[in-house]
């Protein structure tokens, strides 16, 4: 049985909670008791020992190379760090460039450890992904919010028993950025409620052109045992 973390860890960021990526405090929506409770929970997490995640996760970065060979793609796919606790996650997150600092067509990835952000990875090849775009002004917020949802295992109630969420990617484009949420089982993708969940938690951000696609339905998909496998990641 999968274990979900409570939402308390989302506040242990080590950053000013009034930053641009965090919605401003609204006195009409938050009672004094709720504020005090949140402060107590934040302090408990900060002073407690390591708060383990249900899964280890790995941050990757890749730099776009036009018509890259498999070898070139592998060379440009850089592991930044693997995290196993809430504190470790925020320490890494706060010390790597955000997606708003990516060069055009470069990408950040956040995947369950042991799964590379490529269609042809043996654990990915029968899966697929949800794709959508957001305005660049919303990218940093969407990236942060979805990372927190992932480490808290908050999508478990949206997927089938034989499915799993494997990770998230963001790729920089000219006036909007592409997000990709990876799942294990393409046959279960269109039956899940993941898109409904995304629309709910990311309000009022507009998700542009959302759709689901199996990795094997991409024209450039190559089986992982093929020498021509090209490591494509985003549609």
Does 142 score more than 60 pLDDT?
Answer: yes
For the cut 80, the answer to whether the pLDDT of residue 193 exceeds it is yes
Digit-coded pLDDT (tens) for 53-92: 999 999 999 988 887 776 677 778 999 999 999 999 999 9
- Side-by-side strand order, sheet with 208-214: 77-85, 52-62, 107-112, 165-172, 176-183, 128-135, 208-214
Do residues 176 and 133 touch, judged by C-beta distance below 8 A?
yes
pTM: 0.77
Q: Using the predicted structure, report yes or no on whether residue 3 has a pLDDT greater than 60.
A: no
Q: Taking the mean position of all CA atoms in its chain, how far away is CA 96?
A: 15
Q: At residue 45, does pLDDT exceed 70?
A: no
Q: How far apart are the first and last CA of the chain?
A: 33
For residue 185, give the nearest of 210, 157, 166 by alpha carbon. Answer: 166
Asked if residue 32 has pLDDT above 90, the reply is: no
21-53 core/surface letters (b: 16 or more CB in 10 A; e: else): bbeeeeeeeeeeeeeeeeeebbeeeeeeeebeb
Q: Give the pLDDT band of residue 14 (cuts 50, 70, 90).
A: low
pLDDT tens for each residue of 93-123? 999 999 988 888 889 999 999 999 988 889 9
Q: Which has more pLDDT, 234 or 115? A: 115
Torsion angle of C-alpha atoms 203, 204, 208, 213, degrees rounded to 10:
0
H helix or E strand, kind and range, residue 148: helix 136-151
Residue 227 scores a pLDDT above 80: no
Inform me whether the pLDDT recorded for 188 exceeds 60: yes
Contacts of 230 (CB under 8 A, 6+ apart): 68, 69, 70, 73, 120, 220, 222
Domains of the chain (ranges, CATH numbers): 7-217 (3.30.760.10)
């Amino acid at each position: 049985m999968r274990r979900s973390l409570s939402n308390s860890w989302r506040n242990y960021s080590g950053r000013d909670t009034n930053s641009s990526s965090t919605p401003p405090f609204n006195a009409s929506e938050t009672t004094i008791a709720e504020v005090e409770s949140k402060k107590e929970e934040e302090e408990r997490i900060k002073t407690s020992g390591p708060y383990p995640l249900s899964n280890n996760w790995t941050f990757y970065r890749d730099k776009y190379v036009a018509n890259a060979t498999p070898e070139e793609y592998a060379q440009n796919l850089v592991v930044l760090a693997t995290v196993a606790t809430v504190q470790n996650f925020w320490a890494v997150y706060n010390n790597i460039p955000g997606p708003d600092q990516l060069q055009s067509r470069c990408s950040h990835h956040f995947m369950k450890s042991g799964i590379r952000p490529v269609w042809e990875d043996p654990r990915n090849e029968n899966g697929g992904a949800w794709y959508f775009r957001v305005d660049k002004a919303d990218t940093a917020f969407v990236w942060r919010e979805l990372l927190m949802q992932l480490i808290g295992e908050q999508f478990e109630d949206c997927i089938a028993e034989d499915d799993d969420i494997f990770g998230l990617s963001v790729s920089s484009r000219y006036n909007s950025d592409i997000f990709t949420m990876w799942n294990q089982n393409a046959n279960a993708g269109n039956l899940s409620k993941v898109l409904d969940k995304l629309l709910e938690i990311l309000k009022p951000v507009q998700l542009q052109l959302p759709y689901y696609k199996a990795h094997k339905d991409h024209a450039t998909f190559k089986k992982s045992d093929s020498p021509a496998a090209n490591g494509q990641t985003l549609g």
